[in-house]
């Protein structure tokens, strides 16, 4: 089925005009490369944009992570300051001793009475530690809160914005539990949500470190806490450049910060986004809400935090789409212009060929007087030149053939005219001789006179052209001579319009038919044979009926005779003169054309009707030119 369809298409293309084929070739040559180049360019440009975006985004992420790492390092350095500020350690030791004594002096119910001077001691310790905290808090911008706890969990703090955790005790317990196995190194805790004393929910990440004395004994705990607003500006700048959304997660999959602040402090370790972010850095594509995204991620070697940027591909390729549309529009304009030019070129190239085809059709119709105008010396010009030379050669050949055919016809006419049946002459002369010997009277002289007329008519004027009146007079003399031989046996009746007396025709067209009737159709059972020549004028031709009332012929003989008249074969000589009608038929067709000649109709016992067709008087010259 596919093979037939392919063959049908190839056949359809093969039957197309040259102009359409050229246009189709131009269409394929112009459209396919331009379209292919446009598509490849767009895809290459899009891939280049995405690759550059990945590289650039990774660079931006690295720079942002370096800034965050530096900030966290500063937080860690701040958390190590109590180890170098002896005043802080002394105040913590004083606080620990005070609460240790209070615990030992506590009553059965666990309560202790505040002794005189204790309030002043606590106030002194608090002011000392909080003053140090305030100093620490002013060292680094963005460190919103610093908390210092003694070994018994008593907290001292300083917050720039006045927002202090309400869950300070619970936070201490959590931090203390996580730091109990540490030897004084800083611990980083990701974003946590808490309620402040300002009755607002805050999100912050914290650096926690144990405080030890000179003998490495733990005497307290410091927590340096930073609000996530510190990350907001950096992430916003990153999103503005990449046109995406950013997400910062810790090594456990807990969200440190996200651009929309909807996932703060939540666990996304089970999401596909986090699972696909394997390794230290990389990129991948995913689809969310039927929209494709490019996800780029990079990790910090210091904090193990990971930044993930999700950029919509549509946003990423927006400029590329504009470029693509502009490219496609320009390509379309170029294709349309190129096709218009190709259409003009194909028309210009095929116009001479079309002109030549029209000339060939005229030549096919018989008009050889045409000429192809050669304007250029290209292949079509050479073809036109050869076409003109071919027409000249054809006309020369036609003239040569026409001249040869004319000579041939004249020779055939002369040969046919010379084919007079000598049998009749011999018999007639024998009759004259015998009559002269027996009677020695005027009858013999008449017969000789008639014979002389017949001989002079048949042998004079080699062109063989006579008038109808002279031809019919020749027939009368011939029948009169027949009656000399067969006294009173033949009766001739001629009924032809007098207007046709000067009708021009070739010699000896009626006499051979009369002769054929006399010698082959004579019925010995009848005392007389009636012969008649009549003329019928039709719109197409003249019909002369040469009738006799002889023995006629059967259907088989009639068909053989008509078939022999129609066949183109050289006449076969016969001693009984049977070639007469064949000769007349061939001579008529050679002279007037194949539309004319002889046709025979006969019935046994009813005689024979020989129909001789000739052109109308006004068509004689035209028909002869055709031959």
How high is the pLDDT of residue 494?
93
**pLDDT for the residue 392:** 85
Whether the predicted pLDDT of 572 surpasses 80: no
- pLDDT tens digits, 371-412: 878 777 777 778 888 888 888 888 888 888 877 777 666 656
**What residues form DSSP beta bridges with 505?**
466
Sheet holding 490-495, edge to edge: 490-495, 529-537, 541-548, 607-615, 597-603
Pairing type for strands 529-537 and 490-495 reads parallel
Q: Which residue has the tokens 């009169």?
A: 480
- Residue predicted with more confidence, 138 or 33: 33
- What values do phi and psi take at 29, rounded to 5? -65, -35
Q: What is the pLDDT of residue 382?
A: 81
Which of 94-103, 403-412, 418-427, 539-548 has the lowest average pLDDT? 418-427
**310: β partners:** 245, 295
The string of pLDDT tens digits covering residues 38-66 is 778 777 767 777 777 778 888 888 888 88
Q: Is residue 619 exposed (0-12), middle (13-18) or buried (19+ Cβ within 10 Å)?
A: middle
Burial grade of 424 (CB within 10 A; 0-12, 13-18, 19 or more): buried
In this predicted structure, what is the pLDDT of residue 440? 65
Does residue 21 contact residue 344 with C-beta atoms inside 8 Å? no
Pairing of strands 218-227, 187-195: unpaired
Burial (0-12, 13-18, 19+ Cβ within 10 Å), 502? exposed
Q: How many CB atoms sit inside 10 A of residue 43's CB?
A: 12
The whole-number pLDDT of residue 408 equals 65
For each of the domains in the chain, give its residue range(s) and CATH number, in order of start. Answer: 62-105+115-314 (3.30.450.20), 355-395 (no CATH), 419-626 (3.30.565.10)
Mean pLDDT within 432-454: 69
Taking the C-alpha atoms of residue 386 and residue 372, their distance in angstroms, rounded to an integer, is 10
Range with the poorest average pLDDT among 208-217, 312-321, 609-618: 312-321
Give whichever of 342-346, 414-418, 495-499, 623-627 has the largest mean pLDDT: 495-499
The more confidently predicted of residues 324 and 88 is 88
- Residue 576 pLDDT greater than 50, yes or no: no
Average pLDDT over residues 180-208: 84
Instruction: Return mean pLDDT, the chain.
Output: 79
The predicted-structure confidence for 351-374, as pLDDT tens digits, reads as follows 777 787 888 888 888 787 788 787
H/E stretch holding 245: strand 245-249
Q: What is the mean pLDDT of residues 164-180?
A: 86
Among the listed residues 517, 516, 509, the one whose alpha carbon sits nearest the alpha carbon of residue 549:
517
Q: How confident is the model at residue 25 (pLDDT cuts 50, 70, 90)?
A: confident
pLDDT of 598 reads 92
Reply yes or no on whether the pLDDT at 527 is more than 80. Answer: yes
Q: How far is CA 295 from CA 55, 66, 310, in A?
A: 12, 20, 4
Helix spans in 199-310 (H):
229-242, 272-276
pLDDT at 360: 83
574 has a pLDDT exceeding 50: no
Give dist(CA 24, CA 37) in Å, integer: 20
Straight-line distance from the first to the last Cα atom of the chain, in angstroms, rounded to the nearest whole number: 56
Asked if residue 93 has pLDDT above 70, the reply is yes
Contact (CB, 8 A) for 297 and 307? yes
pLDDT number for residue 530: 92
343, 335, 412: which is closest to 568 by C-alpha? Answer: 412
**Per-residue pLDDT tens for 66-90?**
888 888 888 888 888 888 888 888 8
Token output for 494: 């001629």
- Counting residues of the chain whose pLDDT is more than 90, the rounded percentage is 11
User: How far apart are the C-alpha atoms of 459 and 464, rounded to whole Å?
Assistant: 9
Above 80 in pLDDT, residue 619?
A: no
What was the pLDDT predicted at 208? 92
- Identify the weakest region by mean pLDDT among 238-242, 452-456, 569-573: 569-573
Q: Which of 156-160, 199-203, 252-256, 620-624 has the lowest mean pLDDT?
A: 620-624
Tell me, what's the pLDDT at 575? Answer: 39
Residue 437's pLDDT is 67
Give 2's pLDDT tier (boundaries 50, 70, 90).
low
Check whether 463 has a pLDDT greater than 60.
no
What is the C-alpha separation between 296 and 308, in angstroms, rounded?
6
Q: Name which of 613, 447, 624 is nearest 539 in CA terms.
A: 613
H-helix or E-strand spanning residue 66: helix 18-79
Per-residue pLDDT at 248: 93
Place 624 in a pLDDT band, splitting at 50, 70 and 90.
very low
> What DSSP letter does each residue of 106-156 carry, written as one string?
--TTS-----TTHHHHHHHHHHHHHHHHHHHHTTSTT--EEEEEETT--EE
Residue 108 confidence (pLDDT): 46
Element (H, E) at 567: none
Query: Is pLDDT larger for residue 457 or for residue 297?
Result: 297
CB 417 within 8 A of CB 464: yes
- Give the residue-averaged pLDDT of 230-235: 85
Question: What per-residue confidence (pLDDT) applies to 532?
Answer: 94
């Amino acid at each position: 089925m596919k093979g037939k369809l392919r063959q049908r298409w190839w056949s359809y293309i093969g039957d197309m005009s040259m102009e359409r084929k050229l246009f189709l070739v131009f269409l394929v040559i112009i459209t396919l490369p331009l379209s292919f180049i446009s598509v490849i360019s767009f895809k290459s440009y899009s891939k280049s944009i995405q690759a550059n975006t990945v590289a650039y985004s990774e660079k931006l992420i690295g720079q942002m992570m370096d800034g965050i790492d530096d900030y966290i390092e500063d937080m860690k350095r701040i958390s190590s300051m109590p180890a170098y500020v002896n005043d802080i350690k002394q105040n913590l030791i004083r606080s620990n001793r005070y609460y240790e004594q209070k615990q030992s002096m506590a009553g059965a119910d666990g309560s202790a009475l505040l002794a005189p001077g204790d309030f002043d001691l606590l106030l002194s310790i608090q002011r000392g530690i909080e003053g140090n905290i305030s100093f620490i808090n002013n060292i680094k911008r963005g460190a919103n809160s610093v908390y210092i706890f003694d070994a018994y969990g008593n907290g001292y703090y300083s917050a720039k914005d006045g927002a202090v955790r309400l869950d300070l005790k619970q936070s201490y317990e959590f931090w203390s539990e996580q730091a109990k196995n540490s030897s004084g190194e800083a611990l980083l805790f990701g974003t946590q949500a808490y309620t402040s004393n300002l009755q607002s929910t805050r999100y912050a990440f914290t650096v926690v470190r144990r405080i030890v004395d000179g003998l490495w004994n733990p005497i307290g705990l410091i927590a340096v806490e930073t609000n996530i607003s510190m990350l907001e500006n950096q992430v916003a700048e990153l999103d503005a450049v990449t046109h995406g959304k950013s997400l910062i997660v810790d090594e456990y999959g807990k969200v440190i910060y996200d651009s929309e602040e909807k996932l703060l402090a939540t666990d996304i370790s089970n999401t596909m986004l986090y699972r696909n972010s394997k390794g230290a850095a990389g990129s991948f594509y995913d689809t969310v809400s039927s929209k494709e995204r490019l996800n780029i991620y990079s990790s910090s070697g210091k904090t193990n935090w990971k930044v993930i940027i999700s950029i919509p591909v549509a946003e990423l390729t927006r400029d590329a789409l504009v470029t693509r549309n502009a490219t496609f529009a320009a390509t379309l304009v170029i294709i349309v212009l190129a096709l218009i030019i190709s259409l003009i070129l194909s028309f210009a190239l095929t116009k001479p060929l079309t002109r030549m085809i029209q000339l060939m059709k005229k030549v096919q119709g018989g008009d050889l007087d045409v000429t192809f105008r050669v304007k250029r010396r290209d292949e079509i010009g050479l073809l036109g030149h050869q076409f003109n030379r071919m027409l000249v050669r054809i006309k020369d050949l036609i003239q040569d053939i026409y001249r040869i055919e004319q000579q041939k016809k004249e020779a055939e006419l002369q040969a046919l005219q010379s084919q007079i049946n000598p049998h009749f002459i011999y018999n007639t002369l024998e009759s004259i001789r015998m009559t002269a010997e027996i009677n020695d009277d005027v009858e013999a002289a008449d017969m000789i006179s008639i014979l002389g007329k017949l001989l002079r008519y048949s042998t004079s004027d080699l062109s063989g052209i006579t008038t109808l009146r002279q031809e019919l007079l020749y027939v009368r003399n011939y029948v009169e001579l027949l009656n000399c031989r067969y006294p009173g046996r033949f009766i001739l009746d001629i009924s032809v319009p007098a207007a046709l007396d000067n009708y021009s025709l070739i010699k000896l067209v009626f006499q051979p038919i009369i002769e054929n009737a006399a010698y082959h159709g004579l019925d010995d059972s009848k005392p007389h044979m009636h012969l008649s020549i009549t003329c019928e004028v039709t719109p197409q031709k003249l019909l002369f009926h040469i009738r006799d009332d002889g023995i006629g012929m059967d259907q088989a003989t009639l068909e053989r005779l008509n078939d022999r008249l129609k066949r183109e074969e050289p006449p076969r000589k016969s001693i009984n003169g049977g070639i007469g009608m064949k000769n007349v038929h061939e001579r008529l067709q050679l002279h007037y054309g194949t539309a004319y000649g002889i046709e025979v109709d006969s019935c046994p016992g009813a005689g024979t009707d020989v129909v001789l067709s000739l052109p109308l008087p006004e068509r004689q010259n035209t028909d002869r030119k055709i031959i």
